[in-house]
Amino acid sequence: MAKETIFKTEINNGVYSSGDIGISTSEWYDLLSDKGAQQYIDVLLCFLREPDHTSSCTIVSAKNGNTAQYYNSKVTNFSKWVQKKLDRFSVRGMDGKDTYWCIAMEKGWDSNQGFQWQMRDGLVKALQRYLMHGLIQEYKTKEPFNGKEEEYKWALLDEAEGKDVHGIIKCLRGKNIVYNAQVDGILKTLWETKPKELTTCIENLLDETRALIPRIEGFRDEMRAMCPSEWTACANDERTASAILTCRYPNEYTFYKSEVYQVICKYFGFEYRSAFLKFEHFIEIINGFVADFGEEIQQMMMPQIGKYKNKPLNLAVQTLFWCMKEEMKSAIQKSKKDSSPQETMSKIKYQEYMDLLLETRNLVLTGAPGTGKTYMAQAIADEMGAETEFVQFHPSYDYTDFVEGLRPVEKSDGQVGFERKDGVFKEFCREAIKNLVDSEKSIETLTKEISWQERLEAFVENAMENNTKFKTVNGSEFVIIELKNHSIVVHNEQNEKTTQVTVNADEILELLTNDVPLNIVRDIRNYFNRKFGTQPDSYAYVITKAVREMKQKMPAVKAYNIERKPFVFIIDEINRGEASKIFGELFYAIDPGYRGKKDHLVQTQYQNLVPETDVFAKGFYVPENVYILATMNDIDRSVESMDFAMRRRFTWKDVTPTETESMLDTLDCAQEAKATMARLNKAIEETEGLGAAYMIGPAYFLKLRENGGDFNKLWKMNIEPLLKEYLRGFRKSGEILNKFSIAYFERKDSGTDISELIDED
């Protein structure tokens, strides 16, 4: 055995690392392929699929389930296993004792979301290779191309070989490579109306002396310039560009589709890039797998593609991904506890707010417009498992809406009178008190007699689920196939002529409820005064007897253990209503120090009309399981009108755009959107008279999903109008808006003055 090498960890600028420990990508792959590593693979994949392969156990736990300790233990044990398997080194911590995380992880550092670790690059590449090997093995178990029609791609390459620009366009039209409904028509129209311009545009795209990304961007802009301004589509996307490039250079490029690229990035843990940078990255990924697996994949497909002249390895790899994309999606979903399409923040990011709400009972989330405060409020309540009620305050909202008031009612004699009605908050508190009372009762008192109706429904449901076979008196077998309305539908398996019979469920229920004695089928006929028995009577007899027998096996009562729940009352835009008018004397009741204290009851304005049997007969109070969570924009002009008595009974928590920028992670252009928002907000914050309260939140940038990632349109339709409102009444507002535009578009000051867009005072 070779002499053991000891690697020592150290901290440089807050980063904890042991440096290179001498495990190559090939060694990591061999280790992952060992049966002993299989129990750790799922946990390693959780870290692989985190941004930059970096995360903490707490964050991974919140996204994927299990406890943080579970992930800590798995990575530790995997690292111990690796050390023992290789048997050539050990890693010592700062205290001189053996440490293990630095075996699997390159480096780590402390953060407000727990200790962050970044996976070793060799392990990352080995995991990606391991996943690809597994994908190939799964593909082998399926029918050719996983049941898809894919040969046309090889046929297209043969058809397009040696063609000029016009020939390539003719080959592409009518094929499933591009979005035919738009691209076909656009290419046809441009070729008929602007053949020279279109030829020049495509020749520029095919010019291999230039870098790929500038060519893709040039194709985008030139196609846009050729098309009429009213056209919403211009066939200038990366998918169309990739098809043209692949037809000319099939060994260098392959067909691209955003859906496939997105799945590949998520499945293998690659960085997801912005629009018009994706195709280059897609080719890099494909070529990376071609080196290790291209020939193997091509040989699998050879029975289908052998007859074609052009058989590039990159197309074989691309086709494997296309054919297996649903399997990749499924694998990703299985690894996650929650796959919500708008995962704006993980549970750990809400924990601070939940803790604050539980401690203070009244919390207001404040901040700049668009920071996702309303969404966050609802998400916090969801994470708490709370019952919720949502209201939005406005200038005409008042006490009668919120607490109680007199409402017109029509009397039995047709006259209109008035009746006291609870408002939404008082009714909410009533429900919360009921939950408190029920949760405190013993399980014995919270029971309910199981009715014959419930027994019959349970019997039928169980029989259908298990395909239970029954026999009539004469030996005919039947099964129950449906329960609808007041009928039970049965199927007689021994009578070919009668496929199904309908039995009256109400009659069975009457026999059960009245405990009608049944010895033979005829008893049913006699009970219902029928002259002759019917075929359904035979089935009713069997079912009735079976349900009675089932009663002996079922408890007489159901026991209910009511869980105590938090009740979160969400008030959106709390500052837009007149607090003193809405809350009235409830300022005292909502005070955190008086929650649930029945010796400090509040006499509401209509207390004399509350009946003696009401839970609030002696006065109103807010139960201890009620929490008030409100939202408010800092810059709203109605903020100053809020009553100080109201303000001091709430805790105020500022929500910044940076804290909620993860809302943008679901965008294709997430990184570009975050960078644009950061530049613009920095300019706003540095502007005298505005400041941080006027920064623009990520909710505005989510509109990029709706407008196809068009930052120009977002500026014109959404951002610029808001900034104009900010600057209303400012001197030199045009200059300031121009400064914001420069920051937004990340361009140098062109000297253009857009002050004419705003009326300056």
Residue 571 has pLDDT above 60, yes or no: yes
Residue 446 has pLDDT above 70, yes or no: no
Question: In the prediction, which pLDDT does 131 show?
Answer: 97
Residue 476 has pLDDT above 70, yes or no: yes
> Measured between alpha carbons, how far is 635 from 690 in angstroms, rounded to an integer?
9
pLDDT tens digits for range 179-232? 555 677 888 899 999 999 999 999 999 999 999 999 999 999 999 999 988 776
Question: In the prediction, which pLDDT does 258 show?
Answer: 85
> Measured between alpha carbons, how far is 99 from 400 in angstroms, rounded to an integer?
64
Residue 125 has pLDDT above 50, yes or no: yes
pLDDT-derived band at 499 (thresholds 50, 70, 90) equals low
Question: In the prediction, which pLDDT does 640 show?
Answer: 52
- 684 touches 740 (CB < 8 A): yes
Question: In the prediction, which pLDDT does 346 show?
Answer: 44
Question: In the prediction, which pLDDT does 627 show?
Answer: 95
Mean pLDDT of the residues in the chain: 85
pLDDT tens digits for range 501-518? 889 998 999 999 888 888
Residue 24 has pLDDT above 70, yes or no: yes
Question: In the prediction, which pLDDT does 112 show?
Answer: 66
pLDDT-derived band at 337 (thresholds 50, 70, 90) equals very low
Query: Going by C-beta distance under 8 Å and a sequence separation of 6 or more, which residues neighbour residue 303?
Result: 144
Question: In the prediction, which pLDDT does 584 show?
Answer: 86
pLDDT-derived band at 19 (thresholds 50, 70, 90) equals very high
> Measured between alpha carbons, how far is 608 from 379 in angstroms, rounded to an integer?
39
More confident residue, 457 or 31: 31
Mean pLDDT of 35-55: 93
- 408 touches 596 (CB < 8 A): no
β-pair partners for 533: none
pLDDT tens digits for range 611-625? 888 889 899 999 999
Query: Going by C-beta distance under 8 Å and a sequence separation of 6 or more, which residues neighbour residue 119?
Result: 44, 47, 48, 53, 54, 104, 105, 106
Mean pLDDT of 634-648: 62
pLDDT tens digits for range 723-758? 998 898 888 888 999 999 999 988 644 444 433 333
Question: In the prediction, which pLDDT does 493 show?
Answer: 64
- Helix, strand, coil shares, percent, the chain, to 5: 50, 15, 35
pLDDT-derived band at 71 (thresholds 50, 70, 90) equals confident
- C-alpha to C-alpha distances, 660 to 100, 373, 663, 714, nearest whole angstrom: 34, 9, 6, 19
Question: In the prediction, which pLDDT does 751 show?
Answer: 42
More confident residue, 666 or 376: 376
What stretches of 517-597 adopt beta strand conformation (E)? 557-559, 567-572
Mean pLDDT of 103-127: 91
Question: In the prediction, which pLDDT does 93 show?
Answer: 87
Q: Is the pTM of this model over 0.85?
A: no
Percent over 70 (pLDDT), the chain: 89
Mean pLDDT of 630-659: 74
Mean pLDDT of 19-32: 96
Question: In the prediction, which pLDDT does 498 show?
Answer: 55
Question: In the prediction, which pLDDT does 217 show?
Answer: 93
β-pairing, 362-367 with 626-633?
A: parallel
pLDDT-derived band at 645 (thresholds 50, 70, 90) equals low
pLDDT-derived band at 557 (thresholds 50, 70, 90) equals low
Percent over 90 (pLDDT), the chain: 42
Question: In the prediction, which pLDDT does 174 show?
Answer: 77
pLDDT-derived band at 312 (thresholds 50, 70, 90) equals very high
Question: In the prediction, which pLDDT does 600 show?
Answer: 77
DSSP assignment string, 326-343: HHHHHHHHHT-S---TT-
Closest by CA to 71, choosing from 50, 48, 28, 40, is 40
pLDDT-derived band at 662 (thresholds 50, 70, 90) equals confident
Closest by CA to 353, choosing from 97, 622, 628, 653, is 653
Question: In the prediction, which pLDDT does 620 show?
Answer: 92
Query: Going by C-beta distance under 8 Å and a sequence separation of 6 or more, which residues neighbour residue 89?
Result: 4, 5, 6, 7, 21, 22, 83
> Measured between alpha carbons, how far is 274 from 258 in angstroms, rounded to an integer?
11
* Lowest-pLDDT choice from 18-22, 234-238, 382-386, 693-697: 382-386
More confident residue, 465 or 150: 150
By CB atoms closer than 10 A (0-12, 13-18, 19+), residue 85 is middle
pLDDT tens digits for range 580-590? 888 888 888 88
Mean pLDDT of 463-475: 81
Question: In the prediction, which pLDDT does 62 show?
Answer: 76
